[in-house]
């Protein structure tokens, strides 16, 4: 509720009286109101329009920004901007070139990988590893180029197996290595040569490459698997904590993707895109990596301390600089759900959410993603937990029609709903 001028005047009088009773405190500063009255208080929060202050006596008040002098308004706004002038974290000094896609790097005589080591690595801090295996193989190094900014944001090393592929799996060569052996060789070489956190290895891939990712996690314990239109073979028992699945809503592997995410319960998520056997591209993969990072660092925030705090700052800056969208709002909500913010971070987060939710479609988009994941848990199961081509599921088709009125106005969601009602891809 907006305070009246009389109420604001009385509030300033109270603040002045408290100022005269309490001695100086380093955490407090002298503010000036818009009508020239001085007051001593501590800045507690700023959400972009309302300022929360605390008096030396411990009382808290909320005032509109325009009740402060122009100089104080500038101070308050600047107090909630990220400090980009310096870094308190020394950069890691490695023998490998950072900030550039490298490779192929020979792991063994038969296995190699492309590599990106971010410039954001910190001296003395071990980094997460994202190891990618693709159905089409990894001969083209530019495949990981689209993940460079995300690598810098997360402080994660990214590697791509060259040899692991569907073609290699089909090869009848007697001296070939199976795909998961190539993956294991690459990971072991990376662990031997770079500062990688063994507890934060993420495997990912598309289709047959995702199947390989699950297989590798049978032998090397993973933090997560990012499953893009892939499947989990029952011949293996993956060791992982999180699973983020991405599939077309008419993908013939959608039941596989649903099952792998559902098995992880609250540590699993199924992200749909319109169409059949399609994985949504780099944007969805970036969202998946961000999701895993938020889940794990947030769960272990006290353990990671400075790293978690630094990540929050970088994530807020990233989200603030992105073009406003429902996806940005979704990721901002994700960040807030998993971390305890410092005062300055909380203020920035509130400002970000307020600016984004001013567009109702952004909020609807976030709600839609949650709803579709819940739909996957409830309806993409039972006897259809396998690849099903050119298959129509009457229950899925019927239930998905219920989303048309609520989410059909969003183009991406309209495509997802339509694909639910179609036969799966051939």
- How confident is the model over 317-345, as pLDDT tens digits? 999 999 999 999 999 999 999 999 998 89
CB of 258 within 8 A of CB of 277?
no
289: pLDDT strictly greater than 80: yes
Digit-coded pLDDT (tens) for 387-414 = 899 999 999 999 999 999 999 999 999 9
Question: Which residue intervals of the chain bear CATH 2.30.30.700?
Answer: 5-79
Split at pLDDT 50, 70, 90, the class of 19 is very low
Strand spans (E) along 117-264:
127-134, 157-161, 196-206, 224-228, 242-248
When mean pLDDT is compared across 12-21, 78-87, 318-327, 417-426, the lowest value belongs to 12-21
Bridge partners of 272, per DSSP, are 247
Mean pLDDT value of segment 58-81: 85
CB of 159 within 8 A of CB of 113?
yes
Digit-coded pLDDT (tens) for 114-146 = 999 999 999 999 999 999 999 999 998 888 989
pLDDT of residue 26: 33
Helices (H), 158-305: 166-170, 179-193, 208-219, 254-262, 281-299, 301-304
Question: Which residue intervals of the chain bear CATH 3.40.50.1820?
Answer: 101-300
77: pLDDT strictly greater than 50: yes
Q: Among candidates 358, 354, 359, which has minimal Cα distance to 336?
A: 354
CATH superfamily of 101-300: Alpha/Beta hydrolase fold, catalytic domain (3.40.50.1820)
Q: Among candidates 225, 232, 220, which has minimal Cα distance to 204?
A: 225
Q: Where do we find the tokens 């995702």?
A: 210
Q: Where do we find the tokens 């197996």?
A: 161
Average pLDDT, the chain: 89
pTM for the whole structure: 0.83
Neighbours of 256 (CB within 10 A): 27
User: What is the residue-wise DSSP string for 330-358?
Assistant: HHHHHHHHH-PPPHHHHHHHHHHHHHHTT
Neighbours of 210 (CB within 10 A): 32
Mean pLDDT value of segment 222-237: 95
Q: Which CATH class is domain 5-79?
A: mainly beta
User: What is the Cα–Cα distance from 19 to 12, expressed in whole angstroms?
Assistant: 10
pLDDT of residue 82: 58
| Percent of the chain whose predicted confidence (pLDDT) is above 70 | 90
Pairing of strands 242-248, 196-206: unpaired
86: pLDDT strictly greater than 50: no
């Amino acid at each position: 509720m907006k305070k009246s001028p009389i109420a604001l005047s009385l509030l300033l009088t109270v603040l002045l009286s408290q100022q005269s009773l309490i001695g100086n405190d380093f955490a407090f500063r002298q503010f000036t109101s818009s009508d020239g009255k001085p007051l001593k208080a501590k800045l507690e929060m700023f959400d972009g329009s309302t300022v929360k202050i605390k008096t030396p006596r411990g009382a808290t008040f909320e005032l509109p920004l325009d009740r402060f002098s122009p100089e104080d308004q500038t101070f308050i706004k600047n107090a909630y901007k990220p400090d980009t002038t310096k870094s308190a974290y020394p950069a890691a000094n490695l023998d490998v070139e950072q900030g550039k896609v490298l490779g192929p790097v020979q792991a063994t005589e038969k296995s190699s990988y492309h590599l990106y080591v971010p410039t954001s690595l910190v001296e003395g801090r071990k980094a997460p590893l994202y190891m990618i295996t693709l159905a089409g193989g990894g001969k083209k190094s530019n495949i990981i180029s689209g993940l460079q900014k995300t690598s810098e944001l997360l402080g994660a090393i990214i590697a791509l197996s060259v040899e692991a592929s569907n073609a290699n799996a089909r090869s009848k060569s007697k001296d070939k290595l199976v795909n998961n052996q190539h993956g294991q060789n690459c990971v072991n070489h990376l662990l031997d040569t770079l500062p990688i956190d063994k507890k934060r290895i993420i495997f990912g891939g598309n289709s047959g490459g995702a199947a390989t990712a699950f297989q590798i996690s049978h032998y090397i314990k993973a933090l997560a698997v990012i499953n893009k239109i892939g499947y989990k073979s029952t011949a293996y028992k993956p060791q992982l904590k999180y699973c983020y699945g991405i599939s077309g809503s008419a993908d013939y592997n959608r039941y596989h993707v649903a099952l792998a995410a559902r098995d992880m319960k609250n540590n699993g998520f199924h992200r749909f895109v319109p169409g059949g056997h399609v994985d949504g591209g780099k944007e969805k993969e970036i969202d998946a990596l961000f999701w895993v990072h938020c889940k794990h660092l947030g769960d272990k925030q006290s353990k990671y301390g400075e790293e978690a705090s630094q990540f929050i700052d970088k994530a807020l800056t990233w989200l603030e600089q992105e073009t406003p969208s429902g996806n940005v709002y979704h990721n901002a909500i994700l960040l807030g759900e998993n971390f305890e913010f410092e005062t300055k971070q909380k203020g920035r987060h509130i400002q970000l959410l307020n600016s984004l939710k001013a567009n109702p479609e952004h909020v609807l988009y976030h709600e839609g993603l949650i709803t579709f994941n819940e739909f996957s848990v409830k309806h993409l199961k039972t006897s259809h937990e396998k690849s099903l081509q050119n298959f129509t599921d009457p229950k899925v088709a019927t239930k998905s029609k219920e989303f048309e009125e609520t989410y059909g106005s969003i183009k991406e969601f309209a495509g997802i709903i339509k694909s639910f009602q179609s036969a799966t891809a051939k």
